[in-house]
Amino acid sequence: MLGDPIRNTGRFSLLGRVRNALMVRRRSVRTIEAYTGWIKRYVKFHGLKHPATMGAAEVSAFLTDLAVRQRVAASTQNQALSALLFLYRDVLRAPLPLLGDVVHARRPQRLPNVLSRADVAAVLREMRGVPRLVGLLLYGGGLRLMEGLQLRVKDIDLTRAVVTVRGGKGDKDRVTVLPRSAVGPLTVHLGRVRELHSRDLRAGAGYVELPTALRAKLPRAAQSWEWQWVFPATRTHISAETGERRRHHLHESVVQREVTAAGRRLALAQRVTSHTFRHSFATHLLEDGYDIRSIQELLGHTDVRTTMIYTHVLNRGGRSVNSPADALSGL
């Protein structure tokens, strides 16, 4: 008996095995939640059949329904596909063949939203508190929001002015730049964080979440200074898994709200999000003459074609061409 694939949630249930397999591979909490969510939707779509009794035909039908009836974005359909490929390959040990009959969601060709340097500076000046420092790192190093919030103390090198991003998109590590203008504020901020950590330790807390394998290898690391979050949350919580009093990193919504509010107060024509800082970072580096391969590495893009989109949004117009109208006189 395979049992109910959704209601059975123990360690050796289907979803439990999926979570364990993802944790072993150091996937983020967000990825675990997303993958298990898609597997639940897949099972419900097929009337609660166990995935072990289904295969490529059922996966294709589910993915096609997402595109045709539910009209999801291409990125959403791709995430669902990734979750199901992982389920069959790494959990059920029954890799799926090539899915050739899937109707794919259309991927719209949109240019990234980019701010001018003056507008970036205005937004950062308008932001307040810790979110302002987070925003400076996002723009200064081209970080994604969660990459910035999940930085550990050990990932910041104030002397060399570099930031190490660990387990970024695609579970890849990379090194990017730390803006010199952030060194002073970040030094002051880390001093405050260290005081907070010391108070937590005195109260019998001071724990942070660690990758499962690292926790087993270095059981005391969860309370060590170098593994603390650079941007810790204001409140602690009790871990249901270990019973430890932990402090999570700052929630992304705190930064997102501050960025959006700053853009509204400035009445900017463009919509501003935390990801706008990353887009602006890449575009401004291109304007300054840095080569596309270097920018690709700083952004952590696997394919340079992803980075190439920023060549279309340079301030000098389409494909960096000067309009012939600019040479006309008397207009």
- Report the pLDDT value the prediction gives residue 1, as an integer from 0 to 100: 45
Residue among 205, 206, 203 nearest 225 (CA): 206
Residue-wise DSSP of 206-231: -B----HHHHHH-TTGGGSGGGSBSS
Q: How do residues 168-204 score in pLDDT, each as one tens digit? A: 676 688 999 999 999 999 999 999 999 999 999 999 9
CA–CA dist 258, 274 (Å, integer):
9
Token readout for 7 is 């209601």
Per the annotation, the verdict on 301 as an active-site residue is: yes
Per the annotation, the verdict on 278 as an active-site residue is: yes
Residues paired with 232 in a beta bridge: 249
Q: How do residues 21-47 score in pLDDT, each as one tens digit? A: 998 887 878 889 999 999 999 999 999
Domain coordinates in residue numbering, the chain: 14-91, 117-312
Angle at 50 between CA 44 and CA 54, to 5 degrees: 95
- Report the pLDDT value the prediction gives residue 106, as an integer from 0 to 100: 75
Q: Which of 169, 174, 189, 312 is catalytic?
A: 169
What is the assigned CATH class of domain 14-91?
A: mainly alpha
Pairwise pLDDT comparison (185 vs 310), residue with the higher score: 185
- Poorest-pLDDT segment among 105-109, 238-242, 256-260: 105-109
Q: How do residues 130-161 score in pLDDT, each as one tens digit? A: 999 999 999 999 999 999 999 999 999 999 99
What is the assigned CATH class of domain 117-312?
A: mainly alpha
Q: Which of 144, 246, 247, 249 is catalytic?
A: 144
Among the ranges 20-34, 70-84, 211-225, which has the highest mean pLDDT value? 70-84
Q: Which of 132, 197, 247, 278 is catalytic?
A: 278
Per the CB < 8 A criterion, the answer to whether 99 and 56 are in contact is yes
Per the annotation, the verdict on 275 as an active-site residue is: yes
Q: Which of 154, 245, 275, 312 is catalytic?
A: 275
Per the annotation, the verdict on 46 as an active-site residue is: no
Dihedral of CA atoms 172, 174, 179, 184 in degrees, nearest 10, equals 80
Averaged confidence pLDDT in the chain: 88
* Count of CB atoms situated within 10 Å of the CB of 40: 15
Residue among 33, 18, 28, 30 nearest 211 (CA): 28
- Report the pLDDT value the prediction gives residue 306, as an integer from 0 to 100: 83
Per the annotation, the verdict on 235 as an active-site residue is: no
Averaged over 281-288, what is the pLDDT? 92
Report CA 99 to chain centroid distance, whole Å: 27
- Poorest-pLDDT segment among 6-10, 209-213, 249-253: 6-10
Radius of gyration of the chain (CA): 23
CA–CA dist 180, 197 (Å, integer):
25
Q: How do residues 90-115 score in pLDDT, each as one tens digit? A: 999 999 988 877 888 776 667 788 99
Per the annotation, the verdict on 107 as an active-site residue is: no
